[in-house]
Amino acid sequence: MRHASKAGRLLVPATLACGAALLAGWLKIVPDWRAPAVSAGSADLVAQAVSDGTVVYLPLMHKAAAISSAWEQEYHVPFSLSSSGGVRLPEMAVFWFGEVDPAHNYADVRLGFNDHSIYLDVAVIDRLLWRDPAALPGALTQWDAVSVYLNLSGAAGTAPGSRSYRLRAQASPAGAGLLSAERGDGSGWAPADVPFAATSFWRGEGFNNTNDDEGWGVQFQVPFTSLGLPGRPADGTRWALAVVVHDRDGANGPMPDTAWPTGFAAGQPASWGRISFGLPGYAPPAGPAQGSVTLRGGLNGANVPDANVGGYTTCGDDGLNKWTTWGTRVWNDPALDDFVNVQNQRDVSDWPCFSKYYLTFPLAGHVPDGSPIVSATLTLYQTGGSGGSGVPISPTRSLIQVMTVADDWDTGTLTWNNAPLALENVSQAYVEPQIDFPPWPGLPRTWDLSYGVARAVASGQSELRLALYSADGAIHSGKYFASSDTDDYLAVWRPTLTVAWGP
């Protein structure tokens, strides 16, 4: 099978990820991210975020704490440091919200921090781009723009106070768009002097016309000193966060906003989502394991449903209008479901290639209720990846993140648009590129899920529902894995969860 990339409608093999689109408005990607870093209109696709030799990555961890029985939505923001003092985009935490169709927007949000700033990268899939270069601060939300809400006192309060901030940036073709900043005054929002940087990028035919585009984005860099702090927050500090994507698709007025989290209210910090600084740690109980189980489809009576959403390995090419079919595509064809793909990319014009992977492991009847978890390991067998011979830019490794999800789903109906949102990022691991199908016994890739399984068991979950995605910036980032539908003679390649518990 073959699919067309955006660049000159060039046909490339289906196993090669799209990624060489050369439309106007390209944000030049550098090995790290430091604002501003925009080269509007540049066609330099070689400067991808792929250089590991100049980077020092410090995976800051929380001190291990007791596992709570209450499981709320929370994203852990990693500490990242590059040689230039910025953060590495592929190592940022990632979450998502919204839908892909002609009238709605979808957003990937990446989060990271270093010693002096918190960084938020919001990449938006949007069919039509509209802006007003002369918009007043109060009118930015009438156009394509992003609002970021921060509450340094956590997800609490019925009104924005002095530790609540609202930062806005409009999409712009020039890189530096219009900005506004406000601060809570105890009852609402008031203009405030809150220095921050925001750079914008876009992909498509251009602003303020009726031609189909691809999307846009804004990167925020907010110094901690601008928020009244002397430096970076202590490990484990919790803030509240909300992100709102504003949309305009024509001259007649704005479209409805798309917001995260669900139930968001601008004037109620208690309705915002939670973030914490540093990745979570886990301290297993003392003493040897008292029992263990290996869970895999068809083994030990386990049913492990899994499904791909998004572009699969063909960039969703079905010969139909991508704006009306891609977001609702169900990949349940028996000829296509024996392996899955995890893929993301900084170039939002290649959004049809983006792919997430969902899978569910049973816990009830396999792991004793309330058991202290000694260890848990997720193993996936890599079967290949995007890229290959003749591709000018070689694929690089990916930091694939594992997130829990709260809602159940069905393999026969799961799509990009209805797939559950992430609950918490609980693990991550690097996966190296693998172009060719590997020889037996394959390439096992593992993630430490001790923290995630312990959370699920402590909160009384009967299943462990997972989603895998990445914050990749480079093209050809697709990593292919054997699925639960792999033939019986390769059953050992199916997704596997190994759990050990204490007394």
Q: Give the SS3 label for residue 352.
A: helix
- Please indicate whether residue 318 or residue 12 has the higher confidence score (pLDDT): 318
293: alpha, beta or left, given left = phi > 0 and alpha = psi -120 to 50?
beta
- Please indicate whether residue 73 or residue 132 has the higher confidence score (pLDDT): 132
Q: With 80 as the cut, is the pLDDT of residue 356 above it?
A: yes
Distance from C-alpha of 318 to C-alpha of 460, rounded to nearest angstrom: 41
Q: Are 246 and 144 in contact (CB under 8 A)?
A: yes
Structure tokens of 384? Answer: 């290949």
**Whats the size of the chain, residue-wise?**
503
pLDDT band at 441, cuts 50/70/90? confident
Lowest mean pLDDT among 182-196, 335-349, 414-428: 335-349
Q: With 80 as the cut, is the pLDDT of residue 302 above it?
A: yes
Mean pLDDT of 227-238: 96
Distance of CA 359 to the CA centre of its chain: 16
Q: What angle do CA 16, 50, 483 make, to 5 degrees?
A: 45
Distance of CA 113 to the CA centre of its chain: 16
Predicted structure pTM score: 0.88
Buried b (16+ CB within 10 A) or exposed e, 296-321: bbeeeebebbbbbbbbbbbbbbeeee
pLDDT band at 21, cuts 50/70/90? very low
Q: With 90 as the cut, is the pLDDT of residue 42 above it?
A: no
**pLDDT attached to residue 29:** 30
pLDDT band at 175, cuts 50/70/90? confident
Please write the tens of the pLDDT for every residue from 126-144.
999 999 999 999 999 999 9
Q: Which residues, including other chains, have CB under 8 Å from residue 330's CB and lie 6 or more apart? A: 412, 413, 414, 415
AA letter at 450 = S
Structure tokens of 215? Answer: 């999307």
Q: Residue 261, preceding bond cis, omega within 30 degrees?
A: yes
Cα–Cα distance list, 86 to 27, 80, 89, 198, 428 (Å):
16, 8, 9, 14, 21
Mean pLDDT of 30-53: 32
Q: What is the full DSSP assignment across 401-433?
A: EEEEE-S---TTT--TTTSPPEEEEEEEEEE--
Q: What integer best gives the mean pLDDT of the chain?
A: 86
Q: With 50 as the cut, is the pLDDT of residue 4 above it?
A: no
Q: Give the SS3 label for residue 137.
A: helix
Mean pLDDT of 258-266: 96
Q: What is the full DSSP assignment across 368-386?
A: -TTPPEEEEEEEEEEEEES
Q: With 80 as the cut, is the pLDDT of residue 207 above it?
A: yes
H or E element in which residue 457 lies: helix 450-458
pLDDT band at 179, cuts 50/70/90? very high
Measured between its terminal Cα atoms, the distance across the chain in Å is 53
pLDDT band at 85, cuts 50/70/90? confident
Distance from C-alpha of 264 to C-alpha of 471, rounded to nearest angstrom: 24
pLDDT band at 68, cuts 50/70/90? low
Q: With 70 as the cut, is the pLDDT of residue 319 above it?
A: yes
CA dihedral of 484, 485, 487, 491, whole degrees rounded to 10? 10
Please write the tens of the pLDDT for every residue from 393-430.
788 999 999 999 999 999 999 999 999 999 999 999 99
Distance from C-alpha of 431 to C-alpha of 469, rounded to nearest angstrom: 12
Q: Are 277 and 152 in contact (CB under 8 A)?
A: no
Mean pLDDT of 184-198: 97
Mean pLDDT of 245-257: 95
